[in-house]
Amino acid sequence: METAITRLLGIQYPIFQGGMAWVAEHSLASAVSNAGGLGIIAAANAPYEYVKEEIRKTKELTDRPFGVNIMLLSPYAEDIARLVVEEKVPVVTTGAGNPGPYMKQWKEAGIKVIPVVASVALAKMLQRAGADAVIAEGCESGGHIGETTTMVLVPQVVDAVEIPVIAAGGIGDGRGFAAARMLGAEGVQMGTRFLTSRECVIHPNYKERVLKAKDIDTVVTGRSTGHPIRCIRNKMTREYLAGEKAGLGFEELETLTIGGLRKAVQEGNVDQGSLMAGQIAGMVNKEQTCQEMIEEIMTEAEKLLG
């Protein structure tokens, strides 16, 4: 399937794998790129040397384009911004902030820059700053989220900018892909679906919780602190939400989530870990290779769109 995004990036299918913190490393990113989508390494809160090693390993495993996601709240964001230039990474996506200050250096290096936005205002600002496309991410997504749903955000961003828009949040199959195209998106980004791929190296306990999740099994913590995060409900989210209701402050609440992603991804601690996942988890019910996922989605979408 050819769209403005496949043409822009030289990829086969307009499907991005979300840059999930602690999850999206070289084996997942290279598998998605080799399957014809865009694999993305998550820099998350990791330091320069770690991300450099992940980029090198990805380059060994694929000759196709891949991306690095820079989480702008990271204390290492500036170092990673420099690293992607040094390593000539083909595509950079950003999250959880405004990448404006880095745009010039990335564009000068010939990097395709595709920030995640959760509002029309930021999409317009980043188009002016030289973004090649934007990812409009609705609050159905897992992890750090904005306020607006994908259904509502995507067409408004499409109307507001001339650059291509990729839809993210609540998309997990061919129907979601086709719906995103109907809203005007030139591609989709999926995280939760790829969480259960064979090449995704998260702890089996985490994978099992995603596979077993039902429609209403994710909740949003941190609305009161200004850091809303969507996770599968567990002991940690129950305690966090009770704390928020009781009026606890940011510092006290944070003690509940310290190291939460490591606990979930590496230790498989499904009680205390942060099991970040989107609302689509209820529809993600099988483990497949990335290639099987992408082929299944594209076949279904082409049938619907045809």
Stretch that binds ligand TUI, among 93-101, 106-114, 212-220, 233-241 (CB under 6 A): 93-101
CA geometry: angle at 206 spanning 203 and 212, to 5°? 140
Minimum CB separation of residue 96 from ligand TUI in Å reads: 4
For ligand TUI, the binding residues in 273-292 under the rule CB under 6 A are 276
Q: Does 144 bind ligand TUI (CB under 6 A)?
A: yes
Minimum CB separation of residue 53 from ligand TUI in Å reads: 20
For ligand TUI, the binding residues in 41-60 under the rule CB under 6 A are 44
Among 14, 95, 172, 278, binds ligand TUI (CB under 6 A): 95
Contact 43, 102 (CB under 8 A): no
What phi, psi does 251 have (nearest 5°)?
A: -65, -45
Give CA–CA dist 298/45, Å, rounded. 33
Q: Does 122 bind ligand TUI (CB under 6 A)?
A: yes
For ligand TUI, the binding residues in 252-271 under the rule CB under 6 A are none
Give me the sign of the Cα torsion angle 45, 188, 165, 6: positive
Contact 111, 89 (CB under 8 A): yes
User: With respect to ligand TUI, which residue has the nearer C-beta, 138 or 282?
Assistant: 138
Give CA–CA dist 78/34, Å, rounded. 29
Q: Does 236 bind ligand TUI (CB under 6 A)?
A: no
Q: Does 138 bind ligand TUI (CB under 6 A)?
A: no
Side chain identity at residue 265, one-letter code: V
Structure tokens at 231: 């996770």
Q: Does 123 bind ligand TUI (CB under 6 A)?
A: no
User: With respect to ligand TUI, which residue has the nearer C-beta, 170 or 174?
Assistant: 170
Stretch that binds ligand TUI, among 9-17, 140-148, 159-167, 198-206 (CB under 6 A): 140-148
Contact 63, 52 (CB under 8 A): no
Give CA–CA dist 168/191, Å, rounded. 9
User: With respect to ligand TUI, which residue has the nearer C-beta, 206 or 298?
Assistant: 206
Contact 301, 171 (CB under 8 A): no
Pairing, β 143-144 against β 39-42: unpaired
Stretch that binds ligand TUI, among 143-151, 237-245, 278-286, 296-304 (CB under 6 A): 143-151
Give CA–CA dist 22/179, Å, rounded. 29
Site size with ligand TUI, rule: CB under 6 A: 19
Which residues make up the interface to ligand TUI (CB under 6 A)? Answer: 21, 44, 71, 73, 95-98, 116-118, 122, 137, 143-146, 227, 276
